[in-house]
Amino acid sequence: MPGIKIYTVMKMKDKAKAIEEILYTAGSGERLDVYQGALLFDAPLLYLGALADAVRQRLHPLNTVTFVKDRNISYTNICVCGCKFCAFFKAPGANNSYLMPREEIFKKIEELVLIGGTQVMIQGGLHPDLTIEYFEELFREIKKRFPVYIHSLSAPEIDHIAGNSGLSIEETLKRLASAGLDSLPGGGAEILVDEVKKRVSPKKLCAGKWFEVMETAHRLGMKSTATMVFGLGESYEDRVRHMVLIRELQDKSGGFRAFIPWSFSPGNTKLKEFEIPGGIDYLKTLAISRIILDNISHIHSGWVTEGKKLAQVALSFGADDIGGIMMEERVLKSTGIVYEMFEEDILRLIKGAGRVPALRDTEYNILKVYDS
């Protein structure tokens, strides 16, 4: 059970008073620090939801909930990293390991374009043999063939490609951008606190490196999203510290378009004894992220990890975007999670929440509003 170290010694009455004051502070638009944010996990759920929804309404007064038509393409499951929370990767040479042929990647993008999809998310394991040339050729060919936005490669992949190619992060990002990479997804962050990262993914890039990749991308004019996977045995303080560090970089760079928190799915991983975070925990984490991250426009609710019904409820807890109609998802599928979402489902969920569905592109430009 995540703990709030600094407040555990507080008397109940003092704690309730402190929470009330923090809710008032946040309601008046003042920023919260790590300890104030962590204490909010003990606030009544519906108060938190109302506050987060008020922040959302201030930022998005039109009452829309956006979504994107995208496709995830997991081009390889071969990975030298072996994170304990991952059920997707295979060691090099293992049975069922694969590197997807290029023509298969192109076929998948063609199918996406045929249904009006605009975003392709190409992500995979840290393959020991792939250098920057592989990705440059792939992205150039995709841009030549299809009118899609390449929102691809997480920070650990960028760092790994740089290492495999003997390049700096900056050189790697510049070359990938000129080959067609448009923006970076925020994956690989998990909890951006090294004590947690060392425990669950000791071979993966540290928190500082994740921020270095993002800061460099933003400086070069490439936008990204930021994510958080919670339920990895971290404390509430760790979760809020993660949010505050992202807020600090956003103050400097302005490069994060959205924040996407989701709960850890332990099935088939080395951490399978971990408890799956509950719905209340998810809603509180989402609401607190909306309150803390006052400088990030969009907060996603996640139907892939949380299920459709909870994702719908999350629209009243600070979320203004419900992610994508994903044509394919292999990483979470390997943990046993399988949800499908069609356009009609998304429209029904959003309308059922009393909001107006709007199709967007990766840059959050509205392409179509479904207001009837």
**Site residues, ligand SF4 (CB under 6 A):** 79, 81-83, 86, 88-89, 125-126, 156, 201, 204
Quick one: which of 135, 140, 142 has its CA closest to 161?
135
Q: How far is the CB of 190 from ligand SF4 (least distance, A)?
A: 8
Q: How far is the CB of 34 from ligand SF4 (least distance, A)?
A: 26
By beta-carbon proximity to ligand SF4, the closer residue of 236 and 264 is 264
CA angle 255, 257, 262 (to 5 degrees): 120
By beta-carbon proximity to ligand SF4, the closer residue of 89 and 317 is 89
Q: How far is the CB of 201 from ligand SF4 (least distance, A)?
A: 6
The residues, any chain, with a CB within 8 Å of residue 233's CB and separated by 6 or more, are 2, 196, 199, 200, 274
By beta-carbon proximity to ligand SF4, the closer residue of 75 and 236 is 75
CA distance 331 to 77: 9
Q: How far is the CB of 252 from ligand SF4 (least distance, A)?
A: 27
Q: How far is the CB of 19 from ligand SF4 (least distance, A)?
A: 35
Q: How far is the CB of 228 from ligand SF4 (least distance, A)?
A: 14
Half-sphere exposure of 63 (CA within 13 A, CB side): 8
By beta-carbon proximity to ligand SF4, the closer residue of 4 and 79 is 79
Half-sphere exposure of 372 (CA within 13 A, CB side): 1
By beta-carbon proximity to ligand SF4, the closer residue of 125 and 357 is 125
Residues 16, 17, 18, 20, CA torsion sign: positive
By beta-carbon proximity to ligand SF4, the closer residue of 7 and 89 is 89
CA distance 208 to 325: 32
Q: How far is the CB of 151 from ligand SF4 (least distance, A)?
A: 17
By beta-carbon proximity to ligand SF4, the closer residue of 15 and 209 is 209
By beta-carbon proximity to ligand SF4, the closer residue of 89 and 135 is 89
By beta-carbon proximity to ligand SF4, the closer residue of 117 and 187 is 187
C-alpha distances in angstroms, 3 versus 9, 141, 195?
Answer: 11, 49, 15
Chain centroid to Cα 318, Å, comes to: 15
Residue type, 16: A
- Token duo for residue 355: 């909001």
Q: How far is the CB of 242 from ligand SF4 (least distance, A)?
A: 17
DSSP 307: -
Quick one: which of 119, 327, 320, 67 has its CA closest to 223?
119
CA distance 225 to 209: 16
Q: How far is the CB of 187 from ligand SF4 (least distance, A)?
A: 8
Q: How far is the CB of 336 from ligand SF4 (least distance, A)?
A: 15
E-assigned strand segments in the chain: 64-74, 119-123, 149-150, 224-230, 256-263, 298-299, 321-326, 356-360, 366-369
Quick one: which of 289, 308, 292 has its CA closest to 353?
308
DSSP 10: S
By beta-carbon proximity to ligand SF4, the closer residue of 37 and 302 is 302
